[in-house]
Amino acid sequence: MKIRGIAQAIAEGIRQEMERNDRIVVLGEDVTYWGAVFGFTMGLFEKFGRRRVIDTPITEQTFMGIAVGAAAAGLHPVVSLMFVDFLGAGFDQMFNHMAKNYYMSGGQFPMPVTVITAIGGGYGDSAQHSQVLYGLFAHLPGFKVVIPSTPYDAKGLTIKALRDNNPVVIFGHKLLTGLPFLPFEGIEEEVPDEPYEIDFGKAAVRREGSDLTIIATALMVHRSLKAAEMLQKEGISAEVIDLRTLVPLDEETIVKSAKKTGRVLIVDEDYMSYGMTGEVAFRIQAKALSNLKVPIARLAVPDVPIPFSEPLESAVIPSVNSIYNEAKKLVH
């Protein structure tokens, strides 16, 4: 079937796994009639009812704790965290229990929890509703960190998460959801009707190139592809890599590409300092330093809160033009 954006694809993956596995339950804010606001649980309440799709109060600490206990008791909770910015309210249950209990119990208590949350700015929702923050989860051992950029990936990665005994956090960018009340920068594509998995730790080369490598996630993948088209008109061949997951990270693909092109630009909508761009840059130089023609470049959000003002917001979030300009500097 043809699916526009990642929200419907994620919901489709959950639906198929709920049909296969009656231990999967969905809980969180507005997961019933609203479909979790950004559409990640659309249609599930109508099919499975209140026994398996459960609205909760706006109490992240509580429903994250419920998920931890439910997983320890043998269920597989799917938890909707409306905005990733709200993780602070459920921080203790996620970082000290969800991420650690499987390890601390010596494997006696698997922790099959799938958290789905909305990320990103670009539509004027200000500092408390526009962050990305997946670097926080990637930094702490225990979580698998999944960032789909296409409908095909969104469904396959969701199904993979729902078959995993570890906590997995799926970060869905709002501008890729395909919902009518938001700007849309994603794609519409054919997605298989049958269930399928996409393995974690396998990056996707979205565009082959020879002059430089652009590495990105989520919305930045699509903006990087548009920048690559602009570069091509000037005779610059850019390879674009979609990481898909931060944990596990596909070092093999990014290092291979860096060795091939000798120039690397890492683009991220998360904050610059102590984030994904620095980690990926280090791993590349550790294994491909002698192949690099110029130092690795990074483009990310500067260390400031996301502004409400649209001109200021546009200035801090990497754009097609800023990606194009940074990439061009590596070649000339």
Residues carrying an active site annotation = 129
Reading the block at residue 51, the tokens are 């026994």
Report the candidate in 238, 219, 218, 222 with the shortest Cα–Cα distance to residue 230: 238
DSSP character at residue 88: G
- Residue 256 CA to residue 262 CA, distance in Å, equals 10
- Residue 215 CA to residue 218 CA, distance in Å, equals 11
Contact partners, residue 270, CB within 8 Å, separation at least 6? 131, 132, 133, 134, 135, 276, 277, 300, 301
Q: What are the backbone angles phi and psi of residue 96, rounded to the nearest 5°?
A: -105, -15
b/e per residue, 53-78, with b = 16+ CB within 10 A?
bbbbeeebeebbbbbbebbbeebbbb
- Helix, strand, or coil (residue 119): strand
- Helix, strand, or coil (residue 205): strand
Alpha-carbon distances of 235 from 228, 239, 332, rounded to whole Å: 10, 13, 12
Count of C-beta atoms within a 10 Å radius of residue 258: 27
- Residue 215 CA to residue 197 CA, distance in Å, equals 23
- The verdict on whether omega for the bond into residue 167 sits within 30 degrees of 0, i.e. cis, is no
Helices 151-161 and 6-20 sit at what angle, rounded to 10 degrees? 30
Report the candidate in 71, 131, 138, 135 with the shortest Cα–Cα distance to residue 98: 71
Report the candidate in 140, 279, 300, 297 with the shortest Cα–Cα distance to residue 218: 300
